[in-house]
Amino acid sequence: MNNLNIWEQFMQQAEMRWSEVIEATSVHIQLVFFSMLIAIVLGIGLGILITRVPQLSTVVLGGAGIMQTIPSLALLGFMIPIFGIGVNTAIAALFLYSLLPIIRNTYTGIKDVNKATVEAAKGMGMTSLQVLLKVELPLAIPMIMAGVRTAAVINVGTATLAAFIGAGGLGDFIFLGITRGIDGLILLGAIPAAMLAIILEIFFTYLERWTTPEGLK
């Protein structure tokens, strides 16, 4: 087997394991999807919160920043004592890892809304909630979506490491390929993961464009 070149190895492995690839891809997507879902909900929520309670902004942004500085593999390791081995741990770690870009972009997006627009909104008698929902969030959407996109793309890459803590996903093939010394097997995990990242990037770019209010384009 070792005298095959890398492309032939890849084709051979793909033929042998295509159903496993599909399953791993679906696990991978689930890891990304659920961790992102929680990160989006909590990240936007926290981002809004720290624009309302500025005293919290240093703590929240600092905390999320620290998460980001922890090497991804180490973060996955930290989670094992809490959530055990498997999917939950991976989702928790990926979620923490995706939080910073979303919080930060939500925060800056809202902060960057033109002061005059907000003053006019208040001056016309909008309540604080109306200002948030009708003015600040719509105008911050492009920025927030950019944060989500960044987080999602990083997330797809990081999710390959989930295999190391037994959560499965496309990282399984990479892990296996490395330990067995089969380069083709590494590609079998890496190529779908890269494609997933590209597809997500394109998807979010369109979503960003689609959610940007008409008058801002």
Partner 1 sequence: MIKFEQVSKVYTDGFKAVDSVNFEVPEGEFLVLIGPSGSGKSTTMKMINRMIPHTNGTISIDGTDIKKLNPSELRRNIGYVIQQIGLFPHYTIEKNIAIVPELKGWDKEKIKTRVRELLKMVDLDPDIYASRYPKELSGGQQQRVGVARALASDPRVLLMDEPFGALDPITRDQLQDQIISLQRKLKKTIVFVTHDMDEALKLGDRIAIMKDGNLLQIDTPEKILLEPASTFVEDFIGKDRIIQNPELMPVVSVMTTKVVTSVLDRSPEKALLKMRQEKITSLIIEDEQDDTFVGLISAYELIKKVSSIQSIEEILIVPEHTLTDKASAKDAIMMMPNVKYGVIPVLNEAKKVVGIVTRGTLLTALSSQWTELEGINE
Which residues in this chain contact partner 1 in the complex, by CB under 8 A? 114-127, 130, 134-135, 138-139, 213-216
Residues 215 and 91: their CA atoms lie apart, in Å, by 37
Nearer to partner 1, 85 or 120 (CB): 120
Q: Where are the alpha helices (DSSP H) in 2-136?
A: 6-52, 57-69, 72-83, 87-111, 115-123, 128-130
Smallest distance from partner 1 to CB 10, Å: 48
Cβ of residue 138: shortest distance to partner 1, in angstroms?
Answer: 5
Q: How far is the CB of 157 from partner 1 (least distance, A)?
A: 34
The CA–CA distances, whole Å, from 196 to 21, 25, 107, 157, 174 equal 13, 9, 28, 9, 15
**94/37 Cα distance (integer angstroms):** 11
Q: Which is nearer to partner 1, 81 or 217 (CB)?
A: 217
Nearer to partner 1, 58 or 117 (CB): 117
Helix (H) or strand (E) holding 170: none
Range 7-36 burial, b when 16+ CB lie within 10 A, else e: eebbebbbeebeeebeebbebbbbbbebbb
Task: Name the minimum Å distance from CB 125 to partner 1.
Answer: 3
Residue whose CB is less far from partner 1, 84 or 213:
213
**Shortest separation between residue 143's beta carbon and partner 1, angstroms:** 13
Cα separation, 94 vs 87, whole angstroms: 10
Between residues 67 and 118, which has the closer beta carbon with respect to partner 1? 118
